Amino acid sequence: MAFRPLFSSVLVALGLLSAAPGHAGAIGPLVEQGDTVSVKVRVGDLDLNSREGARAALGRIHVAAQLICGPTPSPVQIERLSIYNACMKSDVDQAVASLDRPLLTALNTTHGQAYLRVARR
């Protein structure tokens, strides 16, 4: 019997655009500050109980969060980089928590900072 995930997709959302003045993300110009922005991430084709499926889901969630949080600021833009990192962590953590899959949560906890470092390169 094949594994059927409980969720076929998850929404990655950022509702605090107004908390980051001057950094509304890649979607920012399309919305008013304070609006909630969400990106649908499909995970129904993945086995979230397998390491490969959980990694693929985490990668998709990360890409969606980047769409919301915008491009990685330059390392010399310390304040913007701090806002970006907080945005990414919040959005990825929220999406992972909403799926409530132990392996996905463990990978996010273990490798969450590695994704942020890769995004900076």
DSSP per residue, 8-77: SEEEEEE--GGGSTT---SSGGGS-TT--EEEEEE-TTS-TTSHHHHHHHHHHHHHHHHHHH-SPPPTT-
Q: How confident is the model at residue 112 (pLDDT cuts 50, 70, 90)?
A: low
* 53 and 78 Cβ atoms separated by less than 8 Å: no
What pTM does this model have?
A: 0.70
Taking residues 94-116, report their average pLDDT.
83
Over residues 29-55, the pLDDT tens digits come to: 445 556 677 888 889 999 999 999 999
More confident residue, 78 or 10: 78
Nearest to 34 by CA among 54, 48, 20: 20
Query: What is the per-residue pLDDT for 7?
Result: 45
pLDDT at 36: 77
Q: What is the pLDDT of residue 101?
A: 94
Contact 5, 46 (CB under 8 A): yes
Q: Specify the pLDDT at position 113.
A: 53
The predicted-structure confidence for 61-77, as pLDDT tens digits, reads as follows 999 999 888 888 988 98
